[in-house]
Amino acid sequence: MTSVPTEHLIEATYLIATALFILSLKWLGSPTTARRGVFAGEIGMLLAVGGTLMYQGIVEYKWIAIALVLGSIIGVPLGKVAMTAVPQRTALSHAFGALCVTLVGTAEYYLRAPDVPPFMMGVLSMEVILGSLTFTGSLMAAGKLQEILPQRPITYKGQNVVNLGLLALAVVVAAALVRHPEKMQLFPVIVGIPLVFGVMMIIPIGGADMPTVISLLNSYAGLSAAAMGFVLQSKLLIIAGALDGASGFILSVNMSKAMNRSFTNVLFGAFGQEQASGAALGSEQARSVRSATPEEAAAILAAANKVVIVPGYGMAVAQAQHKVRELYDALTKRGIDVRFGIHPVAGRMPGHMNVLLAEADIPYDKLLDMDEINGEFPQTDVALIIGANDVTNPAARSDHASPIFGMPILDVDKARTAMVIKRSMGAGFAGIENPLYYLDKTLMLFGDAKNFAGAIVRELAGGRE
């Protein structure tokens, strides 16, 4: 008599969890509701886990409890990483999830073999292939972002043929297993080959494309989880995996559009090789740049009516977001109109700059995306670029030889004055020379972003007093 109410309770719990997952994605689409979205997702996942633990088919809770404790021991420290490490932390999460999917798929096959129906064998094959390549691909992406592995592309002749050949071989073996599931010796092949493919897939991809790669791997992880839902006959897992896969894919498409690049170009184009554009090689290397001190920068900012601040990964590395908030406060107190221009691929993951600035309590209505802010640069007195390189590179508009030609950029060079806080003249993450630094209207503010922004704030405070 207790089994029916328990089943109904589980179904109700799953239904609420599903609704929370959907609402979480909706709310995460806006900075003003993002915190609510995170909270909804967390509650939804808690309900999903709780509902699963209510199943009467569970024989022994001891090993589940041990796994929960071990997962918490590992997960809590990983959740306390610096904001600059969030992209690689996200990649590791994809890797762990994909490994889980692969292990569950492998266990299910050997439990069911040799009597596996064709549809179930096909889903199992999709699950382990996507899970395996996502596992190693995510580890490679995390390694590149952490700079443990080389960030520049590693290419060789015929690389794409080799990579696609590996994937095709795994698919052929999977098709053979669908027809003959009793050939258990073939199953390790559809696990092992994608593991290798995951490594080979990321090797030729440069660091500048990592934001898109992370979102694409997120999509793969979601699709593999959805496939696992079919295997385990879990409607909630199917829905959650489909939401994850679809949202990751849509985000990848949007990221590619933001860089004016196709998926094939991202995955096979070897973007990010160290090089300089033709314009930079010719004249700009022979030219000197104009630099300024914090005192001079503060004076220019104090005389401005309108300032647009453009953050980049350099701000994240220096953890300068709170000093940037102090700079924002100091300028607005003087009656200066200050806004922030956010490029979709600034940083190393989608929304990286928005998260950092939100952490520093910058008003949401001051964070404008590229399409909103670009029309305002011609009327802007000062464009202050803080650690952003490739997303402000005018070569994307004019230099057909540049690897980033055609990529939409922030039009900071159209402002009356551009000031760039940067440690050195080194190329950005894509390894491409930036002609912006050599323009007559540009002033280079060499130094750590946090220290330099702090020095400007002090000068502004002293000048006001």
pLDDT for the residue 270: 52
Residues 397 and 456 reside in one and the same domain? yes
Q: What is the predicted pLDDT for the residue at 261?
A: 66
Same domain, 338 and 396: yes
**DSSP class of 432:** B
Listed residues 47, 72, 97: the one ending a domain: 72
pLDDT of 268-285, one tens digit each? 555 444 444 444 444 444
What pLDDT score does 273 carry? 45
Q: Looking only at Cα atoms, what is the longest distance across the chain?
A: 86
Q: What is the mean pLDDT of the chain?
A: 86
Sheet of strand 382-386, all strands in order from the earlier edge strand to the far edge: 367-369, 337-342, 306-311, 382-386, 417-422, 442-446
Check residues 260 and 421 and name the one with the higher pLDDT. Answer: 421
Average pLDDT over residues 97-111: 94
**What residues make up the domain containing 321?**
278-464
- Evaluate whether residue 416 is within a structural domain: yes
pLDDT of residue 208: 63
193 in a structural domain: yes
Give the span between the Cα atoms of 311 and 103, in whole angstroms: 41
Q: What is the mean pLDDT of residues 288-307?
A: 94
Out of 268, 291, 325, a domain closes at 268
273 domain residue, yes or no: no
Asked whether residue 23 carries a pLDDT value surpassing 90, the answer given is: yes
For residues 160 and 85, state if they share a domain. yes
Domain shared by 221 and 264, yes or no: yes
Return the active site residues. Answer: 390
| Same structural domain, 325 and 292 | yes
| Among candidate residues 49, 160, 94, 172, the one with its CA nearest the CA of residue 349 | 94
How many structural domains is the chain composed of?
3
Do 91 and 238 reside in the same domain of the chain? yes
Note whether residue 5 is domain-resident: yes
Please, is 186 exposed, middle or buried when counting C-beta atoms within 10 Å of its C-beta (0-12, 13-18, 19+)?
middle
Averaged pLDDT, 1-25: 84
| Residue 282 shares a structural domain with residue 257 | no
Binned at pLDDT 50, 70 and 90, residue 78 comes out as confident
Same domain assignment for residues 245 and 296? no
pLDDT, residue 462, reads 80
Q: CB-based contacts of 459: which residues, under 8 Å, 6+ apart?
A: 294, 295, 297, 298, 299
Whole-angstrom Cα distance, residue 273 to residue 446? 25
Q: Which residue has the higher pLDDT, 453 or 278?
A: 453
Whether the CB-CB separation of 385 and 418 falls below 8 Å is answered with yes
Per-residue pLDDT of 333-374, as tens digits, reads 999 999 999 998 887 777 788 888 988 889 988 999 998 999
Mean pLDDT of 231-253: 89
- Cα–Cα dist 52/11, whole Å: 10
Least confident of 121-130, 356-365, 429-438: 429-438
More confident residue, 63 or 153: 63
Residue 196: the pLDDT is 95
Q: Please check the confidence at residue 309 and state whether its pLDDT lies above 70.
A: yes
Q: Do 288 and 184 sit in the same domain of this protein?
A: no
Alpha carbon separation from 85 to 77, 120, 316, 422 (Å, rounded): 12, 39, 9, 20
pLDDT at 281: 40
Mean pLDDT check: name the lowest of 175-189, 215-229, 230-244, 393-407.
Answer: 393-407
Give me the residue label for tokens 């170009």: 265
Task: Tell me: do 213 and 296 sit in the same domain.
Answer: no
- The percentage of residues in the chain with a pLDDT greater than 90, rounded to a whole number, is 53
Question: What is residue 250's predicted lDDT score, i.e. its pLDDT?
Answer: 86
- Are residues 112 and 230 located together in one domain of the fold? yes
Residues 243 and 154 in one domain: yes
